[in-house]
Amino acid sequence: MPHLTPLPTWSFALGAVTTLFSVLNPISGAAVFAASTAGMPSPALRRSARKAALTAGTAMVAFALVGQFIFSLFGFTALAMQFVGGVLVLYRAISMLYGDDPRERSTEDEKAEASRKLPEDFAIIPFGIPLLAGPGTLSTVMGMIAGLSWSEYGVVLVAILLNAWIVYLFLRNAPAVFARLGAIGTKVVNKLMGLILAAVAMQFLINGVKALAVEIQHAPAAVAALK
C-alpha cells in the first residue's frame, strides 16, 4: 500500500513521464495510425485519435488503481510483478531494437481493411489496446506503483494522464508526423525508444533483485523472532 514520505523529486516525476512515453512510443504508433487512417475525414480522424488515447489512458489508470487488488486476488506480490514487468518490457525493447515490433508487421491488405472500417471499429481495439496499452505498458504501470508513497502515486497518475494527452496529440497529427519523419526517421526513433526501454527493464530487474536480497536477509531474523 502507498505510504507517507516527503514530496517526490522532479527527477522522479520526469522519470515517470519519460518511462511511460517510451513504453507507449506514440511516434511509432502515430506512423501506423497515419497509414491505417489514410483518406479518413479530419473529424473522424480526431474522434478516432481521442478514443484510442482515452482507451490507453483508462487502461493504465485502471491498472494503477486496482493493481494492489489484483495482487491480493491472485495471491502474488508486487515484487513478482516487478520481475514480470521487467521481463516483458525487456522483450518489448528487444523487439523494437531488432525490428520485430508487432506494429511493423501489418500487411498492406490489413492496412487497407483498417482504413475502410469506422473509427469505432479500431480506435479502441487494436489502437488503444493492445497497440498502445499492451502487456508491456500495463506491466510497466504496475511495476512503477510498487512500494510508492501517496505523493509518488499521485505523480504516476498525473504522468499517465499527461502521456494520454501526448498520445492524442501525436495521433491527431499523425499524417503530418508521419510525412515529416518518413520511414527511416520512424525506424530510427523506434530504435532509440527500444534502447531506453531496455534500460528501464534492466532497472526494474535490478530493483527487484535488490528487494529480494533484502527479503532473504530479513527472513532468518523474522523466523528467529518467532521462536
In whole angstroms, what is the distance from residue 144 CA to residue 78 CA?
A: 10
pLDDT tens digit sequence for 169-215: 999 998 777 677 777 776 777 788 778 778 878 888 898 888 888 88
Average pLDDT over residues 82-105: 69
Cell of 202: 534492466
Per the prediction, the chain carries an average pLDDT of 77
pLDDT tens digit sequence for 14-69: 999 999 998 898 887 887 787 667 667 888 888 889 999 999 999 999 989 887 67
Q: Taking the model in full, what pTM does it have?
A: 0.67
Name the nearest CA neighbour of 124 among 54, 194, 195, 176: 54
* 165 occurs within a structural domain: yes
* 112 occurs within a structural domain: yes
Identify any residues that bridge with 149 across adjacent strands, giving them in sequence order. 3
Q: How many structural domains compose the chain?
A: 1
* 125 occurs within a structural domain: yes
* 72 occurs within a structural domain: yes
Residue 21: predicted pLDDT: 94
* 34 occurs within a structural domain: yes
Domain enclosing residue 156, as ranges: 10-226
* 71 occurs within a structural domain: yes
* 2 occurs within a structural domain: no
